Amino acid sequence: MKEEFRFEDREEFIKKLEEVLASGVAPEKVNAVYPHPDHHIEEIFEKYVPKSKLKFFTLLGGLSGTIGGFALTILTVLHWPMITGGKPLISIPAFIVIAFEMTILFGALASLTGFVLLSRVPNFKRILYPEDYGNEFVLQIEREDP
């Protein structure tokens, strides 16, 4: 059974939320829907749920970008070594630029991937049947049937 509480006032919503979570309801069963990002609401939740793991995706992506960048440049130049401008074959200053850009690219793509995997967005059910709550703050609690 789904219990739903709608609030127009943010303060009321927050009070109710704190109440519900403090009362021992499992956080997975509590769903809050709100129209704009709200750090206070997040802080409340994060007392009971772990923080987002997205940063690890970003880190992994960034690192793979750096390594990949250097790997691409160094391995290709060793594969067919051609002298240009007398510069040493492994021109680190030049390759840093490539690695840097790839760090950012892979970091961004990895973050996006992480987001998709973690937040389950795109959500195909909701694409077909969207749920709109407007500017209201909504609290949905799944309670077991008695």
Partner 1 sequence: MKRRDFLKVVGVASSATLLSSCGVEKSTEKLIPFLVPPDEDYIPGQATYYGSTCTECPANCGVSVKVVDFNPIKLEGLADHPVNRGALCLRGQSSILRLYHPDRVKQPLKRGPDGQFQPVSWEEALQQVVQALKDASGAGRSNVYLSGRTTGSLSRLLDDFAKETRVERLPEYEPFSHVNLREAYRLVFGRKEIPFFRIEEADFLLTVGVDLLETFVSPVSYAHQLGRAKARDDFHWVHFEPHASLTGFQADQRFVVRPGSEAYLMGFLLHYILTNGLNKKRIPPEITNALPKVDVNLVAEKTGLDAEVLNRLAARLAEARTPLVLSGGVSVHQKNGLETAVLTALLQWALGATDRVVDFSRAENYASVGSVKDVQKLVERLSRGEIGVLLVSRANPVGTLPASVALAEAMAKAGFRVALTDFVDETARQCDLILPLSHSLESWGDAEPRKGLLNLIQPTVEPIFNTLSEGDILLAIADGYRGRPNVLSYQQWLLREWNRAYGEAFVEEFLKKGFFEFPAKPLPLGLNRPALTAFLKAARLDAPPQGHWLYAMPSLRMFDGRSKVLKLTSEIPDPLTTISYGEWITVSDETAERLGVQDRDEVAFLREGTRLALPVKVQPGLNGEVSTIHWDQLDRAFLEMDPRSGELLAVVAEGQLQKTGKKIAVPILSGSMEEAYERGIFPDHNGHGMKHHAEVRETLYPPHEHPEYRWAMTIDLEKCIGCSACVAACYVENNVAIVGEQEHLKGREMAWIRIEPFYGKDRDREMNFMVMLCQQCCNAPCETVCPVYATMHNPEGLNAMVYNRCVGTRYCHNNCPYKVRRFNWFDHHWETPLDRMLNPDVFVRHKGVMEKCTFCVQRIRVARDHAKDENRKIRDGEVIPACAQTCPTEAIVFGNLLDETARVTQLAHSDRSYRVFEEIGTEPAVYYLRKKEIKDEA
Partner 2 sequence: MKHKEVDTAKPMTVREKIDYQNEIEERVLGAMRKPTPLYWVGLGISLLMVLIGAISWTHQIRIGMGVAGINNPVGWGVYITDFVFWVGIAHSGTLISAILFLFRAKFRSRFNRSAEAMTVFAVLTAGLFPLIHLGRVWFAYWLFPYPNQRLLWVNFRSPLIWDVFAVSTYLTVSAIFFYVGMIPDLAIVRRFKKGFAKRIYSVLSLGWTGTFKEWQHYNQLYKYLAALATPLVISVHSVVSWDFAMSVIPGWHTTIFAPYFVAGAIFSGCAMVITLVVPMRKMFKLEKIITVDDFDKLAQILLFTSLIVGYAYIVEYTIAFWSGNVFEESQFIYRVVGEYKWFYYLMFFCNVILPLTLFSNRLRRNISYLFIVSIFVNIGMWFERFNIIVMSLAHDFDPYAWGFYMPSLVEFGITLGSFGWFFTWFLIFAKTLPIISITELKEEVA
93 binding partner 1? (CB under 8 A): no
Which element (helix H / strand E) includes 140?
A: strand 137-142
| Interacting partner of 23 out of partner 2, partner 1, none (Cβ under 5 to 8 A depending on kind) | none
22 binding partner 2? (CB under 8 A): no
Distances in Å between the alpha carbon of 74 and those of 35, 70, 77, 104, 127?
A: 48, 6, 5, 19, 45
Whether 89 and 77 have beta carbons less than 8 Å apart is answered as yes
How many residues bind to partner 2 according to rule CB under 8 A? 66
Whether 16 and 144 have beta carbons less than 8 Å apart is answered as no
Nearest-approach distance from CB 6 to partner 2, in angstroms: 13
Residue 107, both tokens: 């970091």
Residues 51-90 that bind partner 2 (CB under 8 A): 51-52, 54-55, 58, 62, 72-73, 76-77, 79-80, 82, 84-85, 87
Task: Give the x-and-dash track for 15-54 against partner 1 (CB under 8 A).
Answer: ----------------------------------------
Residue 106, both tokens: 């892979």
